Structure formats: structure tokens, C-alpha cells
């Protein structure tokens, strides 16, 4: 039986507009978002933006160890949601909620109705459907140790597209595949005419994979015309990623968009949950727990002291700690191409 309660992007937008009238906390924080400080850093061919957003301390500073999760009430379970927070059912499994602590002008959290661990494979089909139904937005996924502030409750987020630099980085390549981005923006992107794209195993019918490198947050991008092709390539990448000891799935942040009648899915593999500065004391301390937004190139700082000290060198250090290297991602791509 197919659900008849798919949520469209216009319905989600209407929900947000309504909540800004009926929910004082949301109204306050979305208004405050209009005045947040943002600065941009030229990283040599690409940019990273930093946002000073005090309201995000709830998420950035979240304790996600097993004991803390067990002792607190899950804030994504329906019975624990604020009474003012309205919800739109999406399919059989998810709810669309307005995020009351926004980073973006339009920011939605999309949890499962049942309390189930944050894992991507059981939710993959829902991720594709959300990405297609909420086409004007970017839908993203934080792995349980890759930025999720509720690693014990499965959820996605949907946000205004075009604010994270990653949106532009990927879209530029998709729209202009004939151009060499490495020439125009000093990046190491391959072009469709390169040997790697001629390799038959680098693509399947209706879909292809290409590596995204040279931007400190290297990853793999799937461009697919069908859900079946997107799923096949995603599972191939998933199987090729390293699985850290004790982890339920490879560490990753995942971004999905749908335009031009195709899915564009970017997977950024991770190797570390948080930089060493998160636990440091004194001047070395940095309250940063990178999630998809940060990996997308919008670096969130809930503390003003951190916002003031952010510079290209510190950003480079943090990203190199938590993300794989270009070489690592290229090796994964070569492995995918050769199997």
C-alpha cells in the first residue's frame, strides 16, 4: 500500500510560515538568524563560510556518549516534542518538523516516528524520496558519529539550498561537465572526458560516480536518473568505505538534491567525530562538532570567541582531522572503477 501523505516543498514552507506565528521559540530564533554574523574565507580556489550562531550550542555541545543518551529523554520522539511543534507525516515512517534552532532560513528536521538508531541503510529509500519530494531543498544525513546530535534516533534534515558552499561546488560541475573545473577554480575534479570516466565500471545505466577533491572535504558524487541506479552505486560506495572498529556503519555525511530529473548525491566519508580541540582547554579549546553543515562548507561556531579566532589555518586543520584525504578518496574511486 502506498502512502498518500507525501509532503511537498510548498507544504513544508507553509508549515514553517505557520510555526513562525504560533511558536514563540521558533519565531525568536528565525528572527535572530537574520542578524547572525558570517564571514567567508578564501581557501585557495574555494571558500569556506563561518557562521556565529549562539542558538546552535544545544546541538554542537550535545553529549552523545551512551550513558548520556540513556539518561536523557530523546528530543526527537513524538511524545517528547514541544506542544507547540507541529508535525507533517511523511510516508509511513517520518515526520517533517520545523527546526527551532535554525542555521538556514528554511530548516527542517525529519525524524522517524519510532525510536530507532541513526543508520542510513534502513532509511535509504526514504532519503531518495525526501530528496525528490523536497526538490528545492538540500536534504542531508549526519552519521551517528559524524555530527548527529541524536545518534540514537534516525533522522534527516532539509535546508535552504545554495547557502552551503558544497551546493555550488557540486552544481557547477553537474551543469558544466564540459569545462575543466581544475582550470577555472584550481580544483582536481576529473571531467567526463577523462580516462576515469571512460572506465565502464565507473558508471551504470542512468548513473555515474565522480570524485570530489581539492576542497578539504573530499567525497564521491552520484548523479543518477533513477532510484535503482542511485541505490546500486550508493551501496557500492558504502561497501568500499572503511568501517572503524565498534562503529555500526562507515562514518559519513550525506547530501542529496534533485534537479534536472535526476538525483545528485554527495557522500563525504569521515575518519573522526570531533577535532582534538573540542576536548582541549584554554586558548586551544574550540567548540566544534562538525556535522553536514560544517562539512558542506558552512562552519558553525556557537561561541563568539571561536568565531573571532577562526582563520584559514584553523579551518584547514579541523577538516584534515575529520575528513579523509584526497588520496584516500581517489583510492576508493579507483577501487570502485576496478571491481
State the pTM of this model: 0.89
Confidence of residue 205 (pLDDT cuts 50, 70, 90): confident
pLDDT digits (tens, 9 = 90+) for 87-141: 999 999 999 999 999 999 999 999 999 999 999 999 999 999 999 999 999 999 9
pLDDT at 198 over 80: no
With a cut of 80, say whether residue 176 has pLDDT above it. no
Q: Is the pLDDT reported for residue 251 higher than 80?
A: yes
pLDDT at 196: 35
d(CA 50, CA 37): 8
Task: Calculate the CA dihedral of residues 249, 250, 254, 260 and round it to 10 degrees.
Answer: -100
pLDDT at 182: 34
Going by pLDDT thresholds of 50, 70 and 90, the confidence category of residue 59 is low
pLDDT at 34 over 80: yes
What is the rounded average pLDDT of the residues 236-247?
93
Q: Provide the 8-state DSSP code for 162.
A: T
> Is pLDDT of 62 > 60?
no
Q: What is the mean pLDDT of the chain?
A: 88
Quick one: pLDDT at residue 204?
A: 65
pLDDT score, position 203: 59
**Please, what is the end-to-end C-alpha distance for the chain in angstroms?**
37
CATH topology of domain 9-183+201-337: HIT family, subunit A (3.30.428)
* More confident call, 173 vs 253: 253
Reduced to 3 states, what is the DSSP secondary structure of residue 137?
Answer: strand
d(CA 141, CA 139) in angstroms, rounded, equals 7
Residue 196 CA: distances (Å) to CA of 177, 327, 330: 14, 15, 11
pLDDT higher than 80, residue 228: yes
Q: Cell numbers at residue 306, please?
A: 571561536
140-157 pLDDT per residue, tens? 999 998 888 889 999 999
Amino acid at each position: 500500500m502506498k502512502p498518500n501523505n507525501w509532503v511537498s516543498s510548498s507544504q513544508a514552507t507553509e508549515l514553517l510560515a505557520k510555526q513562525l506565528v504560533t511558536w514563540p521559540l521558533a519565531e525568536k530564533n528565525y528572527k535572530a538568524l537574520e542578524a547572525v554574523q558570517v564571514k567567508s574565507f578564501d581557501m585557495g580556489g574555494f571558500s569556506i563560510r563561518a557562521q556565529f550562531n549562539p542558538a546552535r550550542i544545544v546541538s554542537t555541545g550535545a553529549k552523545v556518549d551512551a550513558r548520556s543518551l540513556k539518561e536523557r529523554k530523546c528530543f526527537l520522539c513524538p511524545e517528547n516534542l514541544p506542544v507547540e511543534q507541529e508535525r507533517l507525516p511523511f510516508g509511513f515512517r517520518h515526520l517533517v518538523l520545523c527546526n527551532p534552532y535554525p542555521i538556514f532560513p528554511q530548516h527542517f528536521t525529519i525524524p522517524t516516528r519510532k525510536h530507532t538508531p541513526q543508520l542510513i541503510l534502513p532509511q535509504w529509500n526514504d532519503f531518495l524520496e525526501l530528496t525528490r519530494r523536497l526538490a528545492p531543498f538540500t536534504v542531508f544525513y549526519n552519521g551517528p558519529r559524524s555530527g548527529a546530535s541524536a545518534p540514537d534516533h534516525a533522522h534527516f534534515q532539509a535546508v535552504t539550498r545554495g547557502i552551503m558552499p558544497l551546493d555550488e561546488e557540486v552544481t557547477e560541475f553537474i551543469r558544466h561537465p564540459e569545462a575543466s573545473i581544475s582550470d577555472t577554480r584550481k580544483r582536481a575534479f576529473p571531467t567526463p572526458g577523462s580516462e576515469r570516466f571512460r572506465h565502464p565500471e565507473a558508471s551504470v545505466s542512468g548513473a555515474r560516480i565522480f570524485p570530489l577533491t581539492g576542497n578539504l572535504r573530499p567525497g564521491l558524487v552520484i548523479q543518477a536518473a533513477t532510484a535503482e541506479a542511485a541505490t546500486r552505486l550508493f551501496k557500492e560506495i558504502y561497501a568500499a568505505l572503511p568501517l572503524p572498529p565498534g562503529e555500526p556503519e562507515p562514518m559519513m555525511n550525506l547530501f542529496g538534491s534533485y534537479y534536472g530529473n535526476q538525483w545528485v548525491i554527495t557522500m563525504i566519508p569521515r575518519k573522526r567525530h570531533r577535532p582534538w580541540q573540542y576536548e582541549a582547554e584554554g586558548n586551544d579549546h574550540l567548540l566544534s562538532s562538525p556535522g553536514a553543515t560544517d562539512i558542506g562548507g558552512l562552519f558553525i561556531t556557537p561561541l563568539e570567541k571561536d568565531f573571532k579566532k577562526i582563520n584559514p589555518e584553523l579551518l584547514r586543520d579541523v577538516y584534515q582531522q575529520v575528513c579523509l584525504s584526497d588520496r584516500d578518496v581517489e583510492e576508493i574511486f579507483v577501487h570502485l572503477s576496478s571491481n
